């Protein structure tokens, strides 16, 4: 059997999967360990045909998948592996480029730089930022904080709102920095009047927090950071993609003054996983931490390698999928998807507001609705578990002011108005049922 035949079967599998994914249970309906028990506990001695892999993918693996590609996935921040992005991953795997130095893959490095520049233009960021791609926003935040620590010796505190992402705490553990949580206001935004920058090397401000998508007041935070010489890192991992729409730019006021910014195209910009954009206006501070060229990598070209700006040495060809997405959607196509997600979230928010048994519990600047059913935390948690166990939709939760809160995030590009209305019906139906 040839690569072409196995490839055609694989392609057909993906196409069929995308066609039927709406009808699959969104949350995997398996118990922990169930898949592992069903698979052979030892690798085969002899080669098996690729068609066996496809068969097992269908019969054994698929039931253990939670379907992020489902238009009825509303948990965390819903995302989309779009068709151009998927095919670009096939092409990238075929090319198998390794970015170490420029010469080991000029195309990887130059397309990454160009695509980050394209994306900066689309988002209205200033010209001249240095951009590169990381696997996740966690890595980008760690990269920023390492540069901030280096840039201000002795300052070992990182300030962020209590609603900042857990990756800030994780990076601080790794970098042996201390996090100082600034209090938030009633709309879950960092309170700049309560900002204590003593001993701080960095502030992480979030545009689109994970719990509620709240927006920290970046202009006031930037003022304070400039006054004190503190690195400002803006985490816009989820919401950043929305800056492609001019009418939403107010939410991003001040981010052009950040020392570093993270936006995840693999969240809300149609790109398959493993594509987190990082920009900085202080590339020299990144190089001070990460540039290290051993003898076996010294060559005649005088081109800085992207590995000098981050912790990994060998890079995957992550830019190809983002480049393909930006070309195959174009500015207008990306804008249309962002606007539609926000429209659908607003629709859902309206349904919740209009029902007296339910409550919207946080402002909704983008496509995430935070809400709860009247009743106890335990009842809301039981409701979430029943809804998710049904497999019809998948939502997640958070806690706000000590209360259990449901989160519905619109972000999958295949989600329609019908899917959102369906989600609301499932929630109402399960709320009406007494818990088992």
**Range 385-404, binding a second copy (CB under 8 A):** 385, 396-399
> In the set 181, 220, 253, 328, which binds a second copy (CB under 8 A)?
328
Q: Rule CB under 8 A: is residue 118 a binding residue for a second copy?
A: yes
* Residues 143-182 interacting with a second copy (rule: CB under 8 A): 146, 165-167, 169-171, 173-176
CB 85 within 8 A of CB 270: yes
Beta bridge partners of 409: 368
Near a second copy by CB under 8 A, which window of 45-53, 184-192, 224-232, 248-256? 45-53
* Residues 256-275 interacting with a second copy (rule: CB under 8 A): 272-274
114: Cβ–Cβ under 8 A, 6 or more apart, which residues?
319, 323
Concatenate the DSSP letters of all residues of 148-196 into one string: HHHHSTT--EEEEETTS-HHHHHHHHHHT-EEEEEPB-TTS-B-GGG--
Q: Rule CB under 8 A: is residue 42 a binding residue for a second copy?
A: yes
Nearer to a second copy, 14 or 347 (CB): 14
**Which of 299-317 are b and which e, b meaning 16 or more Cβ less than 10 Å from the residue's Cβ?**
eeeeebbbbbbbeebebbb
* Residues 196-255 interacting with a second copy (rule: CB under 8 A): 210-211
> In the set 142, 234, 306, 431, which binds a second copy (CB under 8 A)?
142
Q: Rule CB under 8 A: is residue 20 a binding residue for a second copy?
A: no
Q: Rule CB under 8 A: is residue 413 a binding residue for a second copy?
A: no
- Which of these, 342, 351, 362, lies nearest to 422 by C-alpha position? 351
Q: Rule CB under 8 A: is residue 277 a binding residue for a second copy?
A: no
Q: Rule CB under 8 A: is residue 66 a binding residue for a second copy?
A: yes
Q: Rule CB under 8 A: is residue 87 a binding residue for a second copy?
A: yes
Q: Rule CB under 8 A: is residue 183 a binding residue for a second copy?
A: no
Tokens of 187: 């709309």
- Which of these, 320, 314, 330, 412, lies nearest to 116 by C-alpha position? 320
- Which of these, 150, 148, 117, 149, lies nearest to 133 by C-alpha position? 117
> In the set 316, 367, 380, 415, which binds a second copy (CB under 8 A)?
316
CA torsion, points 148, 151, 157, 159, in degrees to nearest 10? -40
Nearer to a second copy, 189 or 407 (CB): 407
Chain-centre distance for alpha carbon 323:
17
Q: Rule CB under 8 A: is residue 340 a binding residue for a second copy?
A: no
Minimum CB separation of residue 161 from a second copy in Å reads: 13
> In the set 55, 331, 353, 403, which binds a second copy (CB under 8 A)?
331
């Amino acid at each position: 059997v040839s690569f072409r035949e196995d490839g055609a079967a694989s392609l057909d599998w993906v196409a069929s999967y995308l066609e039927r994914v709406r009808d699959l249970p969104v949350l995997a309906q398996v118990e922990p360990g169930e898949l592992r028990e069903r698979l052979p506990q030892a690798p085969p001695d002899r080669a098996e045909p690729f068609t066996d892999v496809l068969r097992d993918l269908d019969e054994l693996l698929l039931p253990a998948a939670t379907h992020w590609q489902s238009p009825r996935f509303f948990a965390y921040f819903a995302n989309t592996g779009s068709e151009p992005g998927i095919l670009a991953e096939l092409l990238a795997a075929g090319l198998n480029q390794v970015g170490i130095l420029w010469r080991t893959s000029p195309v990887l490095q130059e397309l990454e730089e160009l695509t980050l520049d394209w994306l900066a233009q689309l988002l209205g960021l200033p010209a001249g930022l240095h951009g590169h791609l990381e696997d996740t926003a966690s890595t980008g935040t760690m990269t920023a904080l390492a540069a901030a620590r280096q840039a201000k010796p002795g300052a070992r505190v990182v300030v962020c709102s209590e609603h900042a992402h857990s990756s800030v705490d994780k990076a601080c553990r790794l970098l042996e920095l201390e996090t100082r949580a600034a209090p938030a206001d009633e709309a879950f935004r960092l309170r700049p009047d309560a900002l204590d920058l003593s001993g701080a090397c960095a502030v992480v401000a979030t545009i689109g927090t994970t719990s509620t998508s709240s927006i920290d007041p970046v202009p006031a935070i930037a003022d304070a950071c400039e006054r004190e010489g503190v690195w400002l890192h803006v985490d816009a991992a989820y919401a950043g993609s929305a800056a492609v729409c001019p009418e939403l730019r107010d939410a991003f006021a001040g981010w052009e003054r950040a020392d570093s910014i993270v936006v995840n195209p693999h969240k809300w910009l149609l790109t398959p996983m493993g594509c987190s954009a990082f920009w900085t206006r202080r590339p020299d501070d990144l190089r001070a931490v990460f540039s290290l060229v051993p003898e076996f990598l010294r060559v005649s070209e005088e081109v800085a390698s992207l590995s000098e700006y981050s912790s990994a040495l060998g890079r995957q060809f992550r830019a190809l999928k983002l480049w393909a997405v930006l070309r195959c959607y174009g500015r207008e196509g990306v804008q249309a998807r962002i606007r539609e997600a926000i429209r659908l979230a607003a629709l859902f928010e309206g349904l919740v507001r209009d029902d007296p048994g339910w409550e919207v519990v946080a402002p909704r600047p983008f496509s995430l609705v935070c809400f709860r059913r009247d009743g106890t935390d335990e009842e809301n948690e039981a409701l979430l578990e029943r809804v998710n166990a049904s497999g019809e939709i998948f939502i997640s939760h958070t806690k706000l002011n000590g209360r259990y809160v449901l989160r519905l995030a619109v972000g999958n590009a295949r989600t329609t108005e019908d899917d959102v209305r369906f989600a609301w019906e499932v929630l109402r139906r399960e709320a009406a049922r007494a818990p088992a």
